[in-house]
Amino acid sequence: MENMANRINTLFQKKKEKILSVFFTAGFPKLEDTIPIAVELEKSGADLIEIGIPFSDPIADGPVIQDSNKIALDNGMNLKLLLQQVKEIRKTVKLPILLMGYINPVMQYGIESFIKDSKAAGVDGFILPDLPMAEYEDQFKVLVEENELVNVFLISPTTSEERIRKIDGVSNGFIYAVSSSSTTGTKTGFTNEQELYFKKLSEMKLKNPFLIGFGVSNKETFTAVTKFATGAIIGSAFIKLLKSSSNLSTDIHDFVNNLN
């Protein structure tokens, strides 16, 4: 077993640039695909894996991820099954794994069980976009930190500097910087205004590194944002690939390798 440091913190200590985090929905396109997708991502050279917990009403997501949520739920995916799959993934995969999802399925599973069972399965952290910071501090923080897990908060271009500092203070892994005011997968490419925002973030000298997500879909956009950020997150573009893929192994390999 590795030393007790969280895999996410270890990653950011070792690698200071061009970190690639890939998001996909658990149980999509087929129920059991979660496992081979994670395995292929590691083989292909991704640095971080974000697995989406499907939800019936994903309000921050655009059509591509909505569709993957629906298909995953129709396939019978749920949190209990996902944690079993993570255990399976952990038999070979060493990459840090984050679970990303809306708060309601987590609440129904039970907050304490969710945190402990995630730890036991080999999860390294969470991204829960509709969890208010105050509630995180009340009900999650102690358990998350005791279990040496990481919680990732989002910031957006409309987040005030004061609030960014506050989020930086509560964060213990990295910050998820959303590139534009939008739902996932709705925009691609970046404007000058967005680049100024990325630049401002990088000049804020936050204690946590930040990864940029939303609008990152290919080599060009990946290169553009990793000039400012430690890395980037790709979601919708990868989900699109999975949906149309007839050979997950080759397609994932090509997708990841075309980014660098």
Partner 1 sequence: MSIYQVNEKGFYGQFGGAYIPEMLHPNIEELRLNYLKIINEPDFKTEFDQLLRDFVGRPTPLYFAKRLSERYKAKVYLKREDLCHTGAHKINNTIGQILVAKRLGKQKIIAETGAGQHGVATATVCALMGMECIVYMGQLDIDRQRPNVERMRILGAKVVPATSGNMTLKDATNEAMRHWINHPTDTHYIIGSVVGPHPYPDMVARFQSVISEEIKHQLSMEIGNPFPDYVIACVGGGSNAAGAFYHFLNDEHVNLVGVEAAGKGVNSGESAATTALGKIGVLHGSKSLLMQTEDGQVIEPYSISAGLDYPGIGPMHAHLFETGRVKFLSVTDDEAMNAGIELSRTEGIIPAIETAHAIAALQQMELDADDVVVINLSGRGDKDLETYIRWGKY
Catalytic residues: 50, 61
Instruction: Return the range that interacts with partner 1 (CB under 8 A); candidates 6-14, 85-93, 147-155, 240-248.
Output: 147-155
Residue carrying structure tokens 């409309």: 158
Q: Does 162 bind partner 1 (CB under 8 A)?
A: no
> Judged by CB under 8 A, which of 150, 178, 233, 252 binds partner 1?
178
CA atoms within 13 A on the CB side of 114: 25
Instruction: Return the range that interacts with partner 1 (CB under 8 A); candidates 34-42, 76-84, 203-211, 216-224.
Output: 76-84
Alpha-carbon gap, residue 204 to 200, rounded angstroms: 6
Q: Does 258 bind partner 1 (CB under 8 A)?
A: no
Alpha-carbon gap, residue 150 to 8, rounded angstroms: 8
Instruction: Return the range that interacts with partner 1 (CB under 8 A); candidates 36-44, 89-97, 148-156, 201-209.
Output: 148-156
Is the sign of the CA dihedral 165, 171, 172, 177 positive or negative?
negative
* Nearest distance in Å: CB 10, partner 1: 26
Q: Does 166 bind partner 1 (CB under 8 A)?
A: no
Alpha-carbon gap, residue 84 to 6, rounded angstroms: 20
**Which burial class, exposed, middle or buried, applies to 234 when counting CB atoms under 10 A from its CB (0-12, 13-18, 19+)?**
buried
Is residue 156 a contact partner of residue 178, using CB atoms and an 8 Å limit?
A: yes
> Judged by CB under 8 A, which of 131, 212, 224, 237 binds partner 1?
131
In the chain, the largest separation of any two C-alpha atoms, in whole Å, equals: 47
* Nearest distance in Å: CB 258, partner 1: 28
CA-based nearest residue to 139, from 166, 162, 106, 164: 106
> Judged by CB under 8 A, which of 24, 102, 140, 238 binds partner 1?
102
Q: How many residues does the chain have?
A: 260
**Tokens (6 digits) for 248:** 């997950």
> Judged by CB under 8 A, which of 31, 42, 43, 73 binds partner 1?
73
Residue type, 69: N
Instruction: Return the range that interacts with partner 1 (CB under 8 A); candidates 36-44, 70-78, 84-92, 139-147.
Output: 70-78
Residue carrying structure tokens 């984050």: 98
Q: Does 139 bind partner 1 (CB under 8 A)?
A: no
Q: Does 168 bind partner 1 (CB under 8 A)?
A: no
> Judged by CB under 8 A, which of 92, 113, 181, 250 binds partner 1?
181
* Nearest distance in Å: CB 15, partner 1: 25
* Nearest distance in Å: CB 211, partner 1: 14
Return the SS3 of 151: strand
Alpha-carbon gap, residue 4 to 244, rounded angstroms: 39
User: Which residue ranges make up the site for partner 1 (CB under 8 A)?
Assistant: 55-63, 66, 70, 73, 78-80, 102-109, 129-132, 134-135, 153-156, 158-160, 163, 178, 181-183, 186
